Amino acid sequence: VYCRGKVIEWDDEWNPLRAVESHVDITKLKETEEAEKKYSEELESKNKELEQFAYVASHDLQEPIRTIASFSELLEQKYKGKLDKEADQYLKFIISSTNRMKSLVNGLLDYSSLGRNKEFTKVDCSLLLKSIQEDMKVSITDTAAEINVGQLPIITGHEIELRLLFQNLISNALKFKKEGIPPKIQIIAEQRTDDIKFSVIDNGIGIEQQYQERIFAIFQRLHSKKEYEGTGIGLAHCQKILELHGGKIWVDSKPNEGSTFNFTLPN
């Protein structure tokens, strides 16, 4: 109960004569407070659990995967062609599945560790893009891609995550290119009233309308492993990075007419 009182009348010697008092039942308020406290405690323990999961994924899972990978590669090196055709095929499946598992676990681990470091710094996007292109030199040359970067601003954000964001979008543009046509990628930024809008424009295969939302969900893929390699985690990363930066990401695209991945970052 919450009580408050105030004297409103005194006698000649300033002794109190009359007072007003209020008693408010604050059970509800207290209950809400406690529920909130309990909720935040729960959240905290859930968060800890998730961190623990990431740890398990990184160490306990990767170890046996690495062992399977190493020994199946050894088997292949030593016995390929010496057993029979079926055995070679089995080995091929084991090795490719193990490699796939490795990249899935790594992707999951990266995903869960995004946002752990909340320190934002000034990031010069022009410099960032130069360094990314340097890093991706091999795949850019291999695909004979042409990348045009417009004038980009200096923003506040988490540099490693922003690097991952651009890297994912560019490597998608390189990967989902039209056959026989070298990728052409344009990266531009536009200062708007409330935010900065970035666009990564490609001349690739494009995406049908009905899949344009789904591609940002984790492990969602639109192509078989034979057509295009990948784990289906890249755009989920991008989405999470933008959520952590208070921005948004979406795609404008038509099949066969290229894709434009847009994202916004708050001013």
* Binding region for another protein (CB under 8 A): 89, 93, 96-97, 211, 219-226
Q: Which is nearer to another protein, 58 or 220 (CB)?
A: 220
Between helix 85-113 and helix 27-56 the angle, nearest 10°, is 140
In the complex, least distance from residue 152 CB atom to another protein, rounded to whole angstroms? 33
To another protein, the closest distance from the beta carbon of 129 in angstroms equals 30
State the minimum distance, in angstroms, from the CB of residue 225 to another protein. 7
Q: How far is the CB of 246 from another protein (least distance, A)?
A: 31
What whole-number distance in Å separates Cα of residue 228 and Cα of residue 171? Answer: 12
**C-beta of 64 vs 266, nearer to another protein:** 64
Rounded to 10 degrees, what is the CA torsion of 195, 201, 205, 209? Answer: 30
Count of CB atoms situated within 10 Å of the CB of 241: 24
Least distance to another protein, CB of residue 162, Å = 28
- In this complex, which beta carbon is closest to another protein, that of residue 2 or of residue 53? 53
CA-CA distance, 82 to 91, in Å (whole number)?
12
Residue type, 138: V
Is the CB of 184 or the CB of 221 nearer to another protein?
A: 221
Measure the CA–CA gap between 211 and 230, rounded to whole angstroms: 17
| Choice between 163 and 221, CB closer to another protein | 221
C-alpha separations of 136 from 128, 142, 237 in Å: 12, 10, 18
